[in-house]
Structure 1
Amino acid sequence: MPEFIARLFLITPVLTEAPSFVEQFAAALSSADVACVLVRHGTRDDRAAKALLRELASVAQLHGAALLVDGDPRLAAHVDADGVHMDGIGDDLAEAIERMKPDRIVGCGSLQLRDEAMTAGEGDIDYVMFGEPDRDGALPTQAETLERVQWWAEIFNVPCVGFAQTLADVTPLAEAGAEFIALGEAAWGDPRGAPVALGEAVDAMRAVAMAARAAAASEGAGA
């Protein structure tokens, strides 16, 4: 059980425009310490995508959260985003690393096999993500995600993001060693509102770290 407090990694719904989402977005970022926001946009219009990302980036900047663009390093560079999140290994990831590093963040997800994750981790990336939905919305089981997070955290130095399908998944992911916990629909779809959901997630992560520190202190006292 890790003694550090994991941090929040927020994933937006698929957005086509910013105005209707900005108030909800700002409220969420005001409610908790969010390390990163991954913006998923669904517009094919380049100008509209840039406008959306720039508006959300200004909100993220006010709250100290890094803003990442989903799958498009060219667009991320155009809007001066903090980085990009790529799916899988291969030429697209290599291009993102070449274009964005060393000044911006490059993360990688959609890593189905251990070999894929290790290949990604050997590159100049800032994190790997496990358990997030694929482009069709399909999800691995949470048991599979926990196994992958724990394996990675025990062996590798590249930070790990674990995707929580529900708020109940936050505690086991933090216990497994994820440095970041990603929330998507578990936050935005919470009927109490995203700020309440994020606050509950932070409390859960803090409790894991406190329990680990208490256990370590107890072991030290008994030595």
Structure 2
Amino acid sequence: MHIPSLQGQVSPEEWQLRVDLAACYRLVALYGWSDLVFTHISARVPGPEHHFLINPYGLMFDEITASSLVKVDQDCQKLHDSPFPVNPAGFTIHSAVHEVRPDVTCVLHTHTRAGVAVAAQRCGVLPISQQSTFVLASLAYHDYEGVAFRPEEKPRLQADLGQANFLCLRNHGLLTVGRTIADAFLSMYVFESACQIQVAAQAGGELVQVDPAIIAGTARAMQVQTGGMGGQFAWPALIRKLDRVDGSYKT
């Protein structure tokens, strides 16, 4: 399909955000975390207006481009002419987070098999891998209340998330937040890996748990491992990987 380019019609800052968010959608598809068209990744547009970018509802994640992303307000109402619909119900979780976390640029939500499997376990994320220690250092849980489209659920979700960067949505899936799109993506990569490892390990013998004292020092360990750069440490390599596969997300 032909989508007219918005480059030059939006600010340079918004255009770069669009490119990075489109790349994030493509990477989620590339790593096998998408659920047809049924999850979302949102990003706050720079400025005081509380505007956001979200996927055009109905496109697969590997179809999304910088110009096809739709700019919406806090109520998920479209703010520019776009041939694509948006999904206000799907934005409920995202708007709840953006509303109370001004430190967050990106909210990334998935329904992967491993993520939902761990979200369905009473124990939640177990401290049984290096990956899990990074998650457990900033993890919160939110109980399932049905498909998340009711505004009355938002205060409870906000309270449960607090200042955490990882949220396990019981019986539903995984959510990460980040100061940047790169941060949210790297956090989801670690979260998803921890869940895949847990499900695989539970099929074997007795599990060995990590000492809680190690988990307490994980935030510092992550800072050292990424040179204090967070997700930006891995993002350029991920972009190069994506460009080798398909660079059309930048259009």
TM-score with structure 1 setting the length: 0.39
| Structure number having the greater helix percentage | 1
TM-score with structure 2 setting the length: 0.36
| Structure number having the greater strand percentage | 1
